[in-house]
Amino acid sequence: MTQEVEIRKSVCVWCKGECGVLVHVKDGKLVKVEEDPEWGRKVWPPTRACVRLQAAKEYFYHPDRLNYPLKRIGDRGEGRWQRIPWDQALDEIAQKLKEIKEVYGPEAIAYSMGTGYRTDPLQLFRFFTILGTPNAIKQGHICFFPRSQVANAIAGWFPHYSVRSATKCIVAFGAEPLIARPITSKSIFDARERGAKLIVIDPRHTRSASIADVWLQLRPGTDVALLMGMVNVIINEELYDKEFVEKWCYGFDELKARAEEYSPEKVETITQVPADKIREAARLYAINRPGAWIEGMGVEHLQQSIQALHARWILAGLTANIDIEGGDEFAGPHPKILEYGEVGPRVVLTSEQAKKQLGADRFRFFTFEASQLIAQNSEKVWGKVSSAYFIAIASHAPMVLRAMLTGKPYPIKALFEFAANPMVTQANTKLVYKALRSLDLHVTTELFMTPTAELADYVLPAACWLERPILWDFCGYSSYMVAGEAALPTVIPGEYEHKTDYEIWRELAIRLGQGEYFPWKSLEEVYDACLEPSGYTHKEYVDKVRCELKPPKYKKYEEVGFATPTGKVELYSTVFEKLGYDPLPRYQEPAETLISDPELAKEYPLILITGGRVREFYHSEWRQIDSVRKLRPDPIVQIHPETARELGISNGDWVWIETVRGRVRQKAELFDGIAPNIVHAEHGWWLPELPGEEPWLHGVWEVNINVVLNDDPEVCNELSGGWPLKTALCKVYKVKKY
């Protein structure tokens, strides 16, 4: 039967744009997706210009899209698959889970999660908590948890992630918002037009750097020293807000003593940023108030990520830039949305199981213990706990992978992936590969076959955002909330059979005898329950509200204090102290630099940094979509022209990037916005067009920069365990024709 075209209101979550879109549907089929002109948040470049959105139909109906459950029938990695019915897949998986749980305990089952809004992190947490495992491995260690959890620990909440009209100074810290954050980029352009200053901290001359007032081109990995140098200037020149510091900051005297170690001249020797430029940046930030920070993954990829973010919050505290209009604004929890733990039957991991979280004895910042320590202050001040405190609980992925291989401290026998592709996105790919091959049960939910899925036992076809309802309140920080309806059916008989991740967890839970913990039949019912205090169902919320920007209320601390143990901004962190760490930032040279390892540097004289974002792709996604891929067909490594000349490399040459751990190849781009002894390689690369079976694994060994990076716990951040992606020693040389 042919119907009229219907228009469904949805939210694209293919990247952090979270753009409101209108999905045109006829007979259950996608006709087109277009920008919703009434959407309340504008992005730059505009939604209508987005190459990914323009490829929506190509993506959804791609011939390689996974449409039915697959079961491995050959050896692992052999590429031989059998299509099986959903019931069979879920029955078999449930049975294997039962067996593993019985023999090895629930902690032997691990799960891996990628970007939060691609799946549903809270229901995911519910499922595995009921199962009894503490072992989540997430990309959060290098993406968002450091930002989120340091803000919670030091200042009691995470800020609105945009720039407001009152903002007079913006600091982009290890971030390239003009590429990676379409919402923020629009607000930065608007602020610049109003005369706001811009400071960019980045070893590369990014687009943001090109429009900045001050670009601090630091040596990779020296961020803590740089920011402590700014702290030194602000204290010694008395540019800080004395009244705010006295009333609302904890540990000023201790900070002052620590900051004495970081004179601009000394910091110059560490960071290679001229002392006068450090002074200029410190003055610019301290004088032009209010100032807001935009931090990015560039900071989170550092060996000293947590300390660097602590120093960033110290600067915000000294200048009273917190919880004021145009500064680091705090929305607080949404009063009419239920957070994790407030919806449905209560599920809690026993303390005995929580103690088994791998890595928790050494890296204590993303643990159940730390989360509780931080969350209790939130409850005191905000009256509830943001879901973010639960999302930021994760085992240490490198240790979980090692446990898969060694059985120590106990065996890990099963792994589930949701919106995750660790063969591409986890450092030390060779170890990841061996670990995945050692499993008794490996299940992936995916949209397309990936190098990781090729090593699975079951590959379950996931629904994408076009097929599922969306309700996203920024991990519970609630400065905004967006919602969209499921625009397309998850199943069209004879064409495809997708499931939302939620349906998979619920159906497995029922098979495992735990169905009472999932009373909602669909994800939409879950969202109805979350929205109950608002008086809307999810459908009504989509129809009537859809994109909500919470009206700000400033200086709430004057009534309730900050949600930290001392009720103040903790320049000196009592949380870090209680967890057994240095309560103040102190610079340490990363493990693998020209200074810390001069012997290695003789053979590998260049500094490798990775992870800069590009507009076409979202981390490891989109390489198989032709219309997008043709805009960026090859992985690019940026090399300074002088270095390239010395090495006989021309623009467009394929080059090997080699570290002590191996080599991969990318295409050289001569780029003078980087120091001559630094190269920058793109992350997230694999080649879907190459065969999936071993040894190919879609080119993962050829171009994936994580093959040459280190995840050894010895070089990870001492608080969080985050692995360094920004400081490795390498050499680069031309690929010989073969």
Q: How far apart are CA 517 and CA 346, in angstroms?
A: 8
Q: How far apart are CA 124 and CA 633, in angstroms?
A: 35
Largest Cα–Cα separation, the chain:
76
14 or 723: CB nearest ligand SF4: 14
52 or 310: CB nearest ligand SF4: 52
> Which range touches ligand SF4 (CB under 6 A), out of 9-17, 84-92, 164-172, 549-557?
9-17
* Chain residue at closest Cβ approach to ligand SF4: 17
Q: How far apart are CA 506 and CA 496, in angstroms?
A: 20
Nearest Cα to 346, choosing from 138, 54, 556, 125? 125
We find the least distance from the C-beta atom of residue 51 to ligand SF4, in angstroms, to be 8
We find the least distance from the C-beta atom of residue 146 to ligand SF4, in angstroms, to be 23
Nearest Cα to 285, choosing from 206, 161, 198? 198
* 184 near ligand SF4 (CB under 6 A): no
Q: Which of 10, 14, 270, 414 binds ligand SF4 (CB under 6 A)?
A: 14
Between the alpha carbon of residue 9 and those of residues 35, 36, 115, 468, the distances in Å are 10, 8, 22, 12
We find the least distance from the C-beta atom of residue 487 to ligand SF4, in angstroms, to be 13
* 50 near ligand SF4 (CB under 6 A): yes
* 15 near ligand SF4 (CB under 6 A): yes
SS3 418: strand
* 19 near ligand SF4 (CB under 6 A): yes
Q: How far apart are CA 460 and CA 138, in angstroms?
A: 19
* 392 near ligand SF4 (CB under 6 A): no
Nearest Cα to 476, choosing from 111, 152, 162? 152
Contacts of 42 (CB under 8 A, 6+ apart): 183, 186
Structural contact between residues 224 and 585, judged by C-beta atoms closer than 8 angstroms: yes
* 17 near ligand SF4 (CB under 6 A): yes
We find the least distance from the C-beta atom of residue 56 to ligand SF4, in angstroms, to be 9
> Which range touches ligand SF4 (CB under 6 A), out of 8-16, 283-291, 397-405, 472-480?
8-16
User: Quick one: 713 exposed, middle or buried, by C-beta within 10 A (0-12, 13-18, 19+)?
Assistant: middle
22 or 239: CB nearest ligand SF4: 22
487 or 575: CB nearest ligand SF4: 487
We find the least distance from the C-beta atom of residue 39 to ligand SF4, in angstroms, to be 10
We find the least distance from the C-beta atom of residue 499 to ligand SF4, in angstroms, to be 22
Nearest Cα to 736, choosing from 654, 666, 644? 654
> Which range touches ligand SF4 (CB under 6 A), out of 13-21, 149-157, 291-299, 408-416?
13-21
* 52 near ligand SF4 (CB under 6 A): yes
We find the least distance from the C-beta atom of residue 628 to ligand SF4, in angstroms, to be 10
* 565 near ligand SF4 (CB under 6 A): no
Q: Which of 23, 25, 30, 53 binds ligand SF4 (CB under 6 A)?
A: 53
> Which range touches ligand SF4 (CB under 6 A), out of 16-24, 306-314, 409-417, 539-547?
16-24
How many residues at the interface with ligand SF4, by CB under 6 A?
Answer: 12
Structural contact between residues 366 and 390, judged by C-beta atoms closer than 8 angstroms: no
Tokens 């029938």 -> residue? 73
118 or 402: CB nearest ligand SF4: 118
> Which range touches ligand SF4 (CB under 6 A), out of 48-56, 450-458, 490-498, 514-522?
48-56
562 or 617: CB nearest ligand SF4: 617
- 22 forms beta bridges with 9, 34
* 317 near ligand SF4 (CB under 6 A): no
* 182 near ligand SF4 (CB under 6 A): yes
We find the least distance from the C-beta atom of residue 540 to ligand SF4, in angstroms, to be 24
> Which range touches ligand SF4 (CB under 6 A), out of 7-15, 265-273, 526-534, 641-649?
7-15
* 484 near ligand SF4 (CB under 6 A): no
We find the least distance from the C-beta atom of residue 45 to ligand SF4, in angstroms, to be 8
143 or 729: CB nearest ligand SF4: 143
* 483 near ligand SF4 (CB under 6 A): no
* 471 near ligand SF4 (CB under 6 A): no
Contacts of 513 (CB under 8 A, 6+ apart): none
Q: Quickly list H helices, 383-492.
A: 388-391, 397-406, 422-425, 429-437
Handedness of CA 511, 512, 515, 521 (dihedral sign): negative
SS3 271: helix
Structural contact between residues 110 and 133, judged by C-beta atoms closer than 8 angstroms: yes
We find the least distance from the C-beta atom of residue 362 to ligand SF4, in angstroms, to be 37
Handedness of CA 100, 106, 108, 109 (dihedral sign): positive
Q: Which of 10, 47, 421, 717 binds ligand SF4 (CB under 6 A)?
A: 47
Handedness of CA 629, 633, 635, 636 (dihedral sign): negative
SS3 617: coil
Binding site residues, ligand SF4, CB under 6 A:
12, 14-15, 17-19, 43, 47, 50, 52-53, 182
